[in-house]
Structure 1
């Protein structure tokens, strides 16, 4: 049995779950319908997973889309999605903490449940760097409604491989300190959409236990550990 570095992220990769972020593709559609994305835009899906959001943006807005993910399994599945749908989306393998792209490159960047799993300050600074002046950034991120006790927070952080859990004010402060402006925070009640799956040929049986633990945590902390949509501009 192979070693699982981050069991939850490995689960997402091996099952090839599209729309694994809170709210799924329905939330993505809801938040993007209010954005003025068009065919002249260059858009980045930062932490694209299997490329569901990147494909949607390409198909819906005819924008030039680049998608980035650090997980080679996810990257391969995203490339396959674009190939079978004949979409001109560029898929890059790399870290959101050190994005292999030039400064002031994108009109619009979206990141869905990605920042929580990395060095948040590095990732947000990189996003700010590659966003054009006047560009828009949207992040969908798990957020505490209130602080939990140490044992509860450790349970969540250890399972998901997080270095910290942030309150709404913490996320807002991080964006502001990086230089972002016009920060808005929204609570969405979008009905969860059914994820699509792109299964790997061989899946470690231990990952099904990971799925059960994930569902247990979601149920246990559903009143205190939700998500927010953060929108801002450079």
Structure 2
């Protein structure tokens, strides 16, 4: 079992850095108009999509994991809301071109093939469309063994610095217009848990072992890893 499968089995929502509190802060500070059509790319259990829907945004959720989509649809039923959810690969969707004003990606891109995914995101974004991406960042040097350990545990492609992330966006058709680092974001207590758990009925023993290992990894690399929020605009071709 890998890290992403653990999230799915435990039905963990808000697992991205900063959790739902960070998402709320972003949308409060950016004052994004309510008529903007949003894709929650890698929507997980639908926690963020549900929050934005209840604010009044037209939103669609997409996730590669069918179990996450089941969690999200169950949330729809519980809240009596109607958010469309797609069980698709973000690097190759069935969505029409030029569909969305904004694509939100919360700790998702680094688990995908970035050239394929960013190309697809560009295709389904409208001209001048925006991407808001929350991603894990390397803030101090990692040895080869340390990076291999992190990549093996999280199943990600690499542990990038801010400048390396900016290069990925630029090379794939986006212009970065703002980056917020962890120290730029003072997250106030929202009076509610940021991370949710909604496990499936039968859980393998190693799910809890992996959860414990995640805590150890987080503590071990706390001084070398952080997160940033990237704000990017689809590059207009002249």
- Deviation, 1:93, is 0.0
TM-score (norm 1): 0.93
The corresponding residue for 2:137 is 143
Q: Tell me if the contact between 2:166 and 2:176 (Cα under 8 Å) persists in the aligned partners.
A: no
Q: Tell me if the contact between 1:23 and 1:191 (Cα under 8 Å) persists in the aligned partners.
A: no
Instruction: Give me the whole-angstrom Cα distance separating, in 1, the residues matched to 2:10 and 2:188.
Output: 22
Gaps of 5+ in 1: none
Determine if the alignment matches structure 1 residue 210 to structure 2 residue 214.
no
Q: Tell me if the contact between 2:169 and 2:176 (Cα under 8 Å) persists in the aligned partners.
A: no
Q: Tell me if the contact between 1:37 and 1:63 (Cα under 8 Å) persists in the aligned partners.
A: no
1:69 alignment partner, one of 50, 63, 72: 63
- 1:124-158 per-residue CA deviation (whole Å, 9 max, x = no partner) reads 12111111111111000001013311000000000
Q: Tell me if the contact between 1:157 and 1:163 (Cα under 8 Å) persists in the aligned partners.
A: yes
- 1:73-115 per-residue CA deviation (whole Å, 9 max, x = no partner) reads 1000001111221222100001111122111110111000001
Instruction: Give me the whole-angstrom Cα distance separating, in 1, the residues matched to 2:21 and 2:170.
Output: 28
The corresponding residue for 1:30 is 25
Instruction: Give me the whole-angstrom Cα distance separating, in 2, the residues matched to 1:55 and 1:73.
Output: 17
Determine if the alignment matches structure 1 residue 46 to structure 2 residue 41.
yes
Determine if the alignment matches structure 1 residue 17 to structure 2 residue 12.
yes
Following superposition of structure 1 onto structure 2, how do residues 1-234 of structure 1 map, counting pairs within 5 Å?
4=1, 7-60=2-55, 62-187=56-181, 188-190=185-187, 193-234=193-234
Instruction: Give me the whole-angstrom Cα distance separating, in 2, the residues matched to 1:170 and 1:182.
Output: 12
Q: Tell me if the contact between 1:147 and 1:167 (Cα under 8 Å) persists in the aligned partners.
A: no
Instruction: Give me the whole-angstrom Cα distance separating, in 1, the residues matched to 2:162 and 2:230.
Output: 9
CA RMSD between the two structures:
1.4
Q: Tell me if the contact between 1:184 and 1:230 (Cα under 8 Å) persists in the aligned partners.
A: yes
Instruction: Give me the whole-angstrom Cα distance separating, in 1, the residues matched to 2:199 and 2:171.
Output: 40
Instruction: Give me the whole-angstrom Cα distance separating, in 1, the residues matched to 2:176 and 2:107.
Output: 21
Count, aligned residues: 228
TM-score (norm 2): 0.91
